[in-house]
Amino acid sequence: MTASVKIDITEDTILVGIAAAPGIAISRSHRVNRDRMTVIERRILPAEVGPEIAAFKDAVNKSKSQLLEVKDQAGSKELFEHLYIIDTHLLILDDEMLIGDTLRLIREELINAEGALNRVLRKLRQMFERISDEYLRERRSDIDSIGDRLMRNLLGETHESLADVKDQVIVVAHDLSPADTVQIDRSKVIGFVTDIGGRTSHTAILARSLGIPAVVGLETVTSLVPDGTPMIIDGSTGTVILKPSAETFREYLIKKQHYDYLESELVQFRSLPAITRDNCPMALRSNIDFVEEITAAREQGAQGIGLFRTEFLYMSGEGPPSEEEQLAIYSAAVEQMAPFPVTIRTLDVGGDKFVPEFNLADEVNPAMGLRAVRFSLKEVNLFRTQLRAILRAGVFGPIRIMFPMISGVAEVRDCKQFVERERQDLLSAGIACGENVEIGIMIETPAAVLIADLLAKEVDFFSVGTNDLIQYCLAIDRGNEHVAYLYEPTHPAVLQALHQVCRAAENAGIDVGMCGEMAGEDLYSLVLVALGFRELSMNAMNISRVKRIIRQIKIPEAKQILDHLLSLSTAAEVSAALEKEMSQRYPQVFSEKYL
Ligand code: PEP
Ligand code: MG
């Protein structure tokens, strides 16, 4: 959604952006200048090459020292978890494409340092823009943020630090870099709004883990809002209200109290077991992209990793990770998560997950193209390396292998053969492997749903990837905003698909879980338990929310509700019935939203 642009700020001016981190903040705006700089490109004389290169290298070194200083000063535990973002930025400052190419342009094409850097940044941004996967695309913000710092240092501009904010404010910025967010003092910065960014940008992820309400992607908020403007932000709905009237102020104050109360209640669920009222245990697990997220996941009460997306390991810019590199990462994950299992999903590249390194062929229809396990079965050396690393990491604790985008039994058998071959190979070379490494598949295609009974005979567990399953089931491109309104988890076809998968798993006696976004939405928790899911894997921040609902469910009651929902004909009917039911059962949690 984009902001509705208004030039004059009148009372109760409303802007709508992307809800990045929930909660309500009421205060005055504090503008932080992160505007784009004017960069002038010019040709230089050969004699100027030396000084331009020296200036550029100075800027790189200065940027590194600034980031190291931010890292040293970050004190709080929540922030500590995210310092890997600063490390990523430090790595980018050594990146051959960024640094090497800029130096080359200065040296060989005789372009001044700022012009050369600008060109390279533009090229990198364009590369990232081609990515249709939201999470990966937003890694562009890392390039923006490090590029901004580097350019400011090159041009000799100062960088206002968020550590210097004195009063309680809502920060208004074009964008905030991870270094900015790591410096935030939570007693001062009580919310922030930005022009750019999306739900999965680092800024948004950090805001969520810090518990600071945030609205991003407002497009023009920095040009609209002068310093000191009274404002309210609702990070749960993505709403920003400028110059609130007395009535709006009162309304939001009550909403804020209600929200804060529910949040304070949530903390107590972290250490409580995830068990229904009639004593059925559920495994609530976390989805991660980096091993560094595990400490935070444990703190939130995650009982294992239900989905470790491994795509990022392949994006370092230095070629695919070696067996030893992967082993180090997987075994660290396993050791940190023990005694709970870590589920490693094999490389899910292609389709909407573009990894620049692989130079995948342009496909007319990439979502149905050479992606995920299809790619692995073609690029067998990459596949074998990853499987060996997973098998070896199994020595350190419980680990599970999960194959994405399975569409048939033959594919599963091929994958299993690869696993077996690698195991034999390792063992005959005297290299130890985990003994009981479970093998599972993601259920993401309609074909996998239709033959779930056959697939269930082949594997130890299923995990439903609703993000893709809904896309393929309803024929809706998950990244296409024009059909986003049709992307409905409550569509009867989706419910029937989930039902069928759970029945097949139950009949075969294998575990069935879910790791798509639907698993982390507390509105659906009751339905998922009734369907038979016993493992839900989600963003760790949602675990307590889902647990709060689960602990109040009685399975026979939930099944009755499910039966009714399964008898309805449209997604709207199912949603309405579910929202009504949930707001009656859990009025404190859902009444605000749905009644
Ligand atoms: C899914 O498709 O639901 C899923 C969890 O995988 P991804 O979002 O990585 O495709
Ligand atoms: Mg998927």
| DSSP letters for 168-224 | -EEEEES---HHHHHT--TTTEEEEEESS--TTSHHHHHHHHHT--EEE--SSHHHH
Q: What is the pLDDT of residues 52-107, one digit of tens each?
A: 999 999 999 999 998 888 777 765 555 555 676 777 788 888 888 889 999 999 99
Q: Which helix (H) or strand (E) holds 30?
A: strand 24-32
The percentage of residues in the chain with a pLDDT greater than 70, rounded to a whole number, is: 89
User: Residue 216: which CATH number?
Assistant: 3.50.30.10
| Residue in 170, 179, 172, 183 with CA at minimum distance from that of residue 148 | 179
Neighbours of ion ligand 2 (CB under 5 A): 465, 468
Question: Measured between alpha carbons, how far is 356 from 353 in angstroms, rounded to an integer?
Answer: 10
2 within domain boundaries: no
- Could you confirm whether 515 is annotated as catalytic? yes
Q: What is the pLDDT of residue 398?
A: 97
Same domain, 357 and 472: yes
Question: Among 82, 89, 202, 491, which one carries the catalytic annotation?
Answer: 202
Q: What is the DSSP letter of 35?
A: P
- Choose the catalytic residue: 433, 473, 502, 515: 515
pLDDT band at residue 34, thresholds of 50, 70 and 90?
A: low
Q: What's the CATH code of the domain at 442?
A: 3.20.20.60
Using CA atoms, how far apart are residues 330 and 342, in angstroms rounded to an integer? 8
Q: Are 384 and 422 in contact (CB under 8 A)?
A: yes
Q: Nearest CA to 3 among 191, 225, 249?
A: 225
pTM: 0.71
Residues 6+ apart with CB under 8 A from 187: 168
Q: Are residues 253 and 291 located together in one domain of the fold?
A: no
CA of 528 relative to ligand 1 center, distance in Å: 17
In a shared domain, residues 508 and 370: yes
What does the chain come to in residues?
A: 595
The residue to which tokens 């997987």 are assigned: 330
560 plus 438 within the same structural domain: yes
**Nearest-ligand number for the alpha carbon of 489:** 1
Measured over the CA atoms of residue 433, residue 434, residue 438 and residue 444, the dihedral's sign is: negative
Q: How far is the CA of 425 from the centre of ligand 1 (A)?
A: 31
Structure tokens belonging to residue 218: 């407002």
Residue 161 is assigned to a structural domain of this protein: no
Of 242, 266, 290, which residue sits at a domain end? 266
Both structure tokens of 346: 């094999």
Task: Report how far Cα 444 is from the mean position of its chain's Cα atoms.
Answer: 19
* CA distances (Å), origin 186, targets 83, 151, 197, 262, 293: 17, 28, 21, 19, 21
Q: What would the mean pLDDT of 486-510 be, rounded to a whole number? A: 96
Q: Which pLDDT tens digit goes with each residue over 230-274? A: 999 999 889 999 999 999 999 999 999 988 888 888 889 999 999
Give dist(CA 172, CA 183) in Å, integer: 15
- Give the angle subtended at the CA of 282 by the CAs of 557 and 397, to the nearest 5°: 170
254 and 370 share one domain: no
Structure token digits, residue 101? 């190419």
Q: Are both 260 and 359 inside the same structural domain? A: no
Count of structural domains within the chain: 3
Kindly tell me if the per-residue pLDDT of 6 is higher than 80. no
Q: Report how far ligand 1's centroid is from the alpha carbon of 446 (Å).
A: 14
pLDDT by residue (tens digit) across 558-587? 999 999 999 999 999 999 999 999 999 998
Q: Cα(136) to centroid of ligand 1, in Å?
A: 13
User: What does the alpha-carbon distance between residue 306 and residue 438 come to, in Å, rounded to a whole number?
Assistant: 13
pLDDT of 225 over the 50 cut? yes
250 and 126 in a common domain: no
Residue 4 lies in a domain: no
The residue whose CA is least distant from atom 9 of ligand 1 is 309
* Exposed/middle/buried for residue 335 (C-beta within 10 Å: 0-12, 13-18, 19+): middle
Residue 435 DSSP symbol: S
Residues 319 and 451 in one domain: yes
- C-alpha 224: how far from its chain's center? 29
Q: What is the DSSP string of 492-545?
A: HHHHHHHHHHHHHHHHHT-EEEE-SGGGG-GGGHHHHHHHT--EEEE-GGGHHH
| Binding-site residues, ligand 1, Cβ < 6 A | 307, 309, 348, 444, 465-468, 515-516
Other Cβ atoms less than 10 A from the Cβ of 168: the count is: 15
Q: Does residue 183 sit within a domain?
A: no
> Which residue segment(s) compose the domain that 93 sits in?
46-155
Residues 478-493 have a mean pLDDT of 81
* Contact between 23 and 211 (Cβ < 8 Å): yes
Identify the residue whose C-alpha is closest to ligand 1 atom 3. Answer: 465
pLDDT at 355: 64
Q: What is the mean pLDDT of residues 336-355?
A: 87
With tokens 């919310």, the residue in question is 191
Residue 134, domain CATH: 1.10.274.10
Measured CA to CA, the distance from residue 193 to residue 181 in angstroms comes to 12
Residues 557 and 434: their CA atoms lie apart, in Å, by: 41
Which segment of 241-250, 428-437, 499-508, 586-595 scores lowest on mean pLDDT? 586-595
Contact status, residue 149 vs residue 63, Cβ threshold 8 Å: yes
Tokens describing residue 182: 């790591």
- Give the nearest ligand 1 atom to 352 CA: 10
Give catalytic status of residue 202 as yes or no. Answer: yes
CA distance 2 to 218: 6
- Residues 291 and 422 both lie in one domain: yes
The pLDDT tens digits of the residues spanning 114-130 come to 999 999 988 887 777 66
Cα pseudo-dihedral 62, 65, 69, 70, rounded to 10: 60
CA 404–ligand 2 middle distance (angstroms): 7
Query: Is the domain of 220 the same as that of 233?
Result: yes
Atom of ligand 1 nearest to the CA of 516: 3
Proportion of the chain above pLDDT 90, given as a percent? 59
Q: Identify which has the larger pLDDT, 46 or 161.
A: 46
Residues with Cβ within 8 Å of residue 594, at least 6 apart in sequence: 579, 580, 582, 583
User: Does residue 496 contact residue 549 with C-beta atoms inside 8 Å?
Assistant: no
Least confident of 85-89, 421-425, 550-554, 564-568: 85-89
Collapsing DSSP to helix, strand or coil, 382 comes out as: helix
Ordered alpha helix ranges (H), 270-360: 294-299, 323-337
How much is the mean pLDDT over the chain? 88
3 in a domain, yes or no?
no
pLDDT value of residue 476: 84
Task: In whole angstroms, give the CA distance from residue 214 to residue 234.
Answer: 8
